[in-house]
């Protein structure tokens, strides 16, 4: 069990990093919130706000803005990595010399590393090197940051192969509003966290085309089936897909107005200027779609819905036409 008052480093002061900081500080722990964005840190220090990423939330007094990476990481019981998936490896290399035995590293980014196709926990381990001393894992499940920060009832799931470390992280994060499930299926959790972003794009396309609830439910059920096939093929467990990590996160990401993946899909379905949207927004589903497409090349699993999204994003097929053709030609 963690000490009564743990010290937690949160690396990344975006919406999820700030929301988790708020939860953990409210649980009675000391939070060191680090970012490369000095304006964000200054506002947190001076005004207890992060209006850039989490508008309308008064931040807890136990959240300290930290400019130096070493000052955040050293002597922390739990280190939460909350940066975009494409920079997880670089950040991990930066903290590797600072780690000490007994520390737990919890990634909350959702995706695969471009080029290597590594899952996020694999990125961490690779960057730490053969002699690393910390325990690593990831968080998944349905988690809209602003709802978390407002203490609305919700649940997430943590995957760490070391059960004692998993219990420590759970005890620090969980409270009466935020339930934390645990699993040893790190592969399944991280693949669900990656895949749901791709399928949320497809669900968003339904919104752009105005296809209605029946069509969206049909695609959601098919998405879940394909997520299970891909996840199992890559070493995960099917029950993980049908719980918080898969079904829960897919529903949240595919339905929420706050989801950039769903919003991109909506623009694709409406035949709007979706490439301009990508110029100003990080959409993890695009990166994930390319990486998973390369991983599954060879026909190990049948994924027609995934293939349709891939065609629209990378083969520049007409979005409305692609989904209309898919719906017309698909059969069980």
Positions marked catalytic: 196
Q: How far is CA 79 from CA 34, 88, 189, in A?
A: 11, 13, 19
Q: What share of the chain is helix, strand, coil (3-state, %, to 5)?
A: 55, 15, 35
Identify the three-state secondary structure at position 61: coil
Provide CB contacts within 8 A for 308, sequence distance 6+: 202, 322, 323, 326
Distance CA 25, CA 193 (A): 25
Distance CA 143, CA 148 (A): 7
Pair 92, 128: CB distance under 8 Å: yes
Residues in Cβ contact with 147 at an 8 Å cutoff, skipping those fewer than 6 apart: 154
197: left (phi over 0), alpha (psi -120 to 50) or beta: alpha
Half-sphere exposure of 9 (CA within 13 A, CB side): 25
Q: Which residues contact 307 (CB under 8 A, 6 or more apart)?
A: none
Degrees, nearest 5: CA angle 53-54-58: 140
Over its C-alpha atoms, the chain yields an Rg (Å, rounded) of 19
CA distance 54 to 91: 23
CA 231 to the chain's CA centroid: 16
Nearest alpha carbon to residue 8 among 92, 66, 90, 50: 66
Task: Give CA–CA dist 93/90, Å, rounded.
Answer: 5
């Amino acid at each position: 069990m963690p000490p009564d008052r743990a010290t937690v480093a949160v690396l990344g002061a975006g919406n999820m990093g700030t929301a988790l900081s708020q939860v953990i500080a409210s649980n009675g722990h000391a939070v060191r919130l680090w970012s490369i964005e000095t304006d964000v840190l200054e506002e947190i220090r001076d005004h207890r706000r992060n209006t850039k990423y989490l508008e309308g939330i008064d931040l807890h007094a136990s959240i300290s803005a930290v400019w130096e990476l070493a000052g955040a990481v050293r002597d922390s019981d739990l280190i939460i990595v909350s940066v975009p998936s494409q920079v997880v490896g670089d950040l991990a290399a930066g903290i590797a010399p600072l780690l000490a035995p007994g520390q737990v590293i919890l990634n909350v980014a959702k995706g695969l590393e471009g080029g290597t196709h590594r899952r996020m926990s694999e990125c961490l381990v690779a960057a730490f090197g053969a002699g690393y001393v910390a325990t690593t894992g990831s968080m998944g499940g349905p988690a809209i940051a602003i709802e978390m920060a407002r203490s609305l009832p919700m649940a997430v799931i943590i995957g760490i192969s070391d059960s004692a470390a998993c219990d420590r992280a759970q005890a620090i994060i969980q409270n009466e509003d935020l339930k934390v499930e645990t699993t040893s299926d790190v592969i399944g959790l991280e693949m669900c966290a990656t895949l749901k972003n791709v399928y949320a794009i497809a669900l968003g396309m339904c919104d752009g085309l105005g296809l209605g609830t029946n069509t969206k439910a049909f695609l959601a059920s098919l998405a879940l089936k394909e997520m299970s096939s891909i996840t199992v093929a890559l070493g995960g467990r099917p029950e993980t897909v049908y719980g918080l990590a898969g079904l829960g996160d897919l529903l949240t990401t595919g339905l929420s107005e706050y989801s950039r993946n769903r919003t991109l899909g909506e623009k694709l379905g409406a035949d709007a200027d979706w490439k301009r949207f990508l110029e100003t927004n990080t959409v993890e589903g695009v990166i994930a779609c390319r990486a998973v497409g390369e991983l599954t090349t060879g026909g190990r699993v049948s994924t027609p819905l995934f293939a349709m999204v891939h065609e629209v994003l990378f083969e520049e097929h007409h979005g409305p036409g692609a989904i209309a053709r898919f719906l017309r030609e698909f059969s069980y």
